[in-house]
């Protein structure tokens, strides 16, 4: 079995069958990750290049581990300023990397659609590791994998996504994924952080967190980008934490068996209180563990497609 595609650019164009295939494949890699020797020879001789134009420790490390556990060679090419400063275009940078015979390019980039440019131009498989405010497909897949472990059934699941939906690629990928799988999605945040026409993507919108949390099975808190305070989106961190922070009291509004997710890194005491982050409801570290196996599955399934 493999994915009949060269690249993974987003959840939007994945079918339910493809999503399920990735999750099932990740199951078998989860078993590998529990072994003493956490390594299989599947991608021996293949080269994975992590091309990161934004700082990211978690996602890059997760991809690196995933590739290494599949016995691929991994190169990390990280630059926050990007070669744009030197005048080189993204496509030129990537073409150079392909000329060194990379099989996979894992791209993190601040501009939406950047992976699409590479995917069209290169033979290498391109995996989107987050592009601007667009998509972060492997994050959504690892969230699905974690949900599946904890809740079994996606259909009818009530989930609230809370925070800056406008600028969140995690929110978009999660919305696309859970819509396909039949969950009921609520988004919540101040109106300045809810993008126009979002209801047309099949979600309901809440401006009051307490209303959004009533009876939900899953709460996904988004990281607050602190630099957006002031005139931009919210008056102060203090006010944001008061109105939109997830506290133990608010957790009681949700279903008794609610789980709390966060794509990390968390701002303790801002969008999530330390008590909630460390509570039994929190699956934040499970998400991190599952990130590696889901990314192993993606690398494996794309390698078969070529």
Partner 1 sequence: MSHVADRSRRRPREGQILIRGGRVIDPGHVDGVADILVTDGKITEIGRDLKTPPGIKVLDASSKLVVPGFVDLHVHLREPGFEYKETIKTGTAAAAAGGFTSICCMPNTNPVNDTRAVTEFVLDRAKTAESVHVFPIGAITKRSEGKELAEYGDLRAAGCVAISDDGRPVMNGMVMRRALEYARAFDLPVVDHCECMHLSEGGVAHEGLIATKLGLQGMPSAAEDVIVARDIELAELTGGRLHVAHVSTAGSVQMVRAAKARGIRVTAEACPHHFTLTEEAIDEFNTNAKMNPPLRTSRDVQAIKAGLKDGTIDAIATDHAPHAAHEKQREFEYAPFGIVGLETALGLSLLLVEEGVLTLEQMLRALTSGPAEVFGLGKGTLRAGADADITIVDPEAPWVVEPDRFHSKGRNTPFAGWKLKGRVVKTLVAGRAVYP
Q: Rule CB under 8 A: which of 200-259 touch partner 1?
A: 200-201
Q: Rule CB under 8 A: which of 61-90 touch partner 1?
A: 84, 89-90
Q: Is residue 207 helix, strand or coil?
A: coil
Could you say whether residue 135 binds partner 1 (CB under 8 A)?
yes
Name the residue nearer to partner 1 (CB basis): 232 or 285: 232
Given candidates 60, 69, 158, 172, which one binds partner 1 under the rule CB under 8 A? 172
State the binding string over 39-58 for partner 1 (x if CB under 8 A, else -). --------------------
- CA gap 157, 215 in Å, rounded: 10
Could you say whether residue 169 binds partner 1 (CB under 8 A)?
yes
Name the residue nearer to partner 1 (CB basis): 43 or 165: 165
Name the residue nearer to partner 1 (CB basis): 21 or 201: 201
Stretch that binds partner 1, among 132-140, 242-250, 255-263, 285-293 (CB under 8 A): 132-140
Min CB(201)–partner 1 separation in Å: 7
| Strand order, beta sheet including 204-206 | 204-206, 184-188, 158-162, 218-221, 259-261
- CA gap 136, 169 in Å, rounded: 6
The single residue of 46, 69, 108, 295 carrying the catalytic annotation is 108
**Residue 305 and residue 197 in contact, taking contact as beta carbons nearer than 8 Å:** no
59 belongs to the catalytic site: yes
The single residue of 46, 136, 172, 250 carrying the catalytic annotation is 136
61 belongs to the catalytic site: no
Name the residue nearer to partner 1 (CB basis): 88 or 275: 88
Q: Is residue 46 helix, strand or coil?
A: coil
155 belongs to the catalytic site: no
> What CA dihedral angle connects 221, 226, 228 and 229, to 10 degrees?
110
As beta bridge partners, residue 187 has 161, 205
Stretch that binds partner 1, among 193-201, 276-284, 289-297, 298-306 (CB under 8 A): 193-201
Min CB(91)–partner 1 separation in Å: 6
Residue 34, burial from CB neighbour count under 10 angstroms (0-12, 13-18, 19+): exposed
Could you say whether residue 184 binds partner 1 (CB under 8 A)?
no
- CA gap 101, 5 in Å, rounded: 19
> Please, what sign has the CA dihedral across residues 113, 291, 3, 106?
positive
- CA gap 213, 211 in Å, rounded: 6
Longest dimension (CA), the chain: 56
Stretch that binds partner 1, among 96-104, 131-139, 182-190, 292-300 (CB under 8 A): 131-139
| Among the listed residues 21, 2, 19, 77, the one whose alpha carbon sits nearest the alpha carbon of residue 47 | 77
Could you say whether residue 35 binds partner 1 (CB under 8 A)?
no
Name the residue nearer to partner 1 (CB basis): 40 or 198: 198
Min CB(300)–partner 1 separation in Å: 27
Residues in the chain: 306
86 belongs to the catalytic site: yes
Distance from first CA to last CA of the chain, Å, rounded?
Answer: 12
Name the residue nearer to partner 1 (CB basis): 198 or 237: 198
Q: Quick one: which H or E segment has residue 22?
A: helix 16-33
Please list the active-site residues. 58-59, 86, 108, 136
> What are the residues binding partner 1 (CB under 8 A)?
12, 84, 89-91, 109, 111-114, 116-117, 131-135, 167, 169, 172, 195-198, 200-201
């Amino acid at each position: 079995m493999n994915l009949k595609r060269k690249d993974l650019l987003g959840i939007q164009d994945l079918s339910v069958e493809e999503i399920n295939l990735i999750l099932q494949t990740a199951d078998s890699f989860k078993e590998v990750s529990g072994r003493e020797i956490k390594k299989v020879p599947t991608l021996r001789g293949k080269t994975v290049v992590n091309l990161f134009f934004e700082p990211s420790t978690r996602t890059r490390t997760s991809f690196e581990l995933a590739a290494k556990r599949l016995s691929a060679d991994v190169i990390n090419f990280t630059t926050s300023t990007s070669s744009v400063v030197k005048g080189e275009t993204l496509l030129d940078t990537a073409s150079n990397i392909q000329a060194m015979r990379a099989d996979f390019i894992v791209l993190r980039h601040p501009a939406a659609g950047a992976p699409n440019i590479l995917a069209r131009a290169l033979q290498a498989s391109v995996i989107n590791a987050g592009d601007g405010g667009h998509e972060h497909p492997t994050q959504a897949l690892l969230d699905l994998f974690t949900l599946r472990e904890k809740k079994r059934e996606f259909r009818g699941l009530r989930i609230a996504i809370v925070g800056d939906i406008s600028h969140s690629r995690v929110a978009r990928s999660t919305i696309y994924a859970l819509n396909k799988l039949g969950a009921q999605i609520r988004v919540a945040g101040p109106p300045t952080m809810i993008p126009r026409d979002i209801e047309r993507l099949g979600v309901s919108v809440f401006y009051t967190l307490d209303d959004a949390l009533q009876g939900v099975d899953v709460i996904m808190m988004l990281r607050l980008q602190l630099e957006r305070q002031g005139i931009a989106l919210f008056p102060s961190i203090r006010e944001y934490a008061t109105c939109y922070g997830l506290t133990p009291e608010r957790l009681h509004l949700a279903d008794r068996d609610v789980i709390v997710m966060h794509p990390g890194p968390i701002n303790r005491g801002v969008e999530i209180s330390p008590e909630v982050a460390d509570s039994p409801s929190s699956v934040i570290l499970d998400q991190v563990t599952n990130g590696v196996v889901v990314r192993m599955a993606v690398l494996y399934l794309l390698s078969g497609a070529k």
